[in-house]
């Protein structure tokens, strides 16, 4: 999904490249774990792409054993419960009033939120963070344990692609290709192609 977004918003490529180059320069010219942690704009771009073009419209689970919520409501076994993740991602109440509206794609949204200075803002706005307003990796004690590994892999791949290639839509447009929707899930249209041109150094 991130590559489709980059093709549609080329204005982000150079700031991301600069950040990647600087992080590598600070770490002996290599993409190290520390360098990946320094790529906060790339982290933000990945998180915003996941929010804006989420792969799921809702987050579903089947209750295997009944349980009681903190408010006393009993949830019986066999019931399907779900959280409307898309609605959560587009809820203005989840963003400060001075940020871009939720229905506007802002690749550096989470970078700006992390820069506010507080440790909690820094922690809450990372790609791997799970909380009540970001269900990309689940939530609570059942959050995806592999999300840290996945985030590092995605960053390494994107860093290499951004350093080596310009990415464009095949038809030259800067409109993002529409997602395909099926049963509460969305994905990039596999019939749409991207063009990769090696960057001249």
**Ranges of each domain in the chain:** 2-198
Residues in the chain: 201
Reported as type and span, the H/E element at residue 68 is: strand 67-68
pLDDT tens-digit map of 15-74: 999 999 999 999 999 999 999 999 999 999 999 999 998 877 777 889 999 999 999 999
Q: Which residue has the tokens 């209750």?
A: 63
pLDDT tens-digit map of 78-108: 999 888 888 889 999 988 888 899 999 999 9
* Annotated binding-site residue? 144: yes
pLDDT score at 93: 92
Separation of alpha carbons 155 and 30, rounded Å = 13
CATH entry, 2-198, from 1.10.287.3510, 3.40.109.10, 3.40.50.300, 1.10.630.10: 1.10.630.10
Predicted TM-score (pTM) of the model is 0.89
pLDDT score at 187: 86
Separation of alpha carbons 134 and 199, rounded Å = 34
């Amino acid at each position: 999904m991130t590559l489709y977004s980059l093709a549609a918003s080329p204005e982000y490529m150079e700031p991301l490249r600069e950040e990647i180059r600087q992080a590598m320069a600070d770490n002996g010219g290599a993409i190290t774990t520390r360098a990946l942690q320094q790529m906060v704009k790339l982290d933000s771009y990945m998180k915003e792409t996941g929010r804006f073009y989420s792969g799921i419209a809702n987050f579903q689970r089947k209750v295997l054993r009944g349980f009681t919520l903190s408010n006393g409501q009993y949830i019986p076994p066999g019931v399907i419960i779900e959280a409307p993740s898309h609605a959560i991602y587009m809820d203005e109440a989840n963003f400060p009033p001075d940020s871009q509206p939720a229905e506007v794609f802002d690749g550096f949204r989470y970078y700006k939120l992390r820069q506010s200075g507080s440790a909690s803002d820094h922690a809450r706005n990372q790609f791997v963070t799970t909380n009540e307003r970001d269900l990309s990796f689940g939530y609570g004690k059942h959050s995806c344990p592999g999300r840290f590994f996945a985030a590092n892999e995605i960053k390494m791949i994107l860093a290499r692609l951004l350093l080596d290639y310009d990415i464009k839509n095949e038809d030259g447009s800067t409109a993002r290709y529409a997602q395909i929707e099926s049963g509460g899930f969305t994905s990039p249209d596999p019939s749409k192609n991207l063009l990769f041109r090696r960057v001249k150094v």
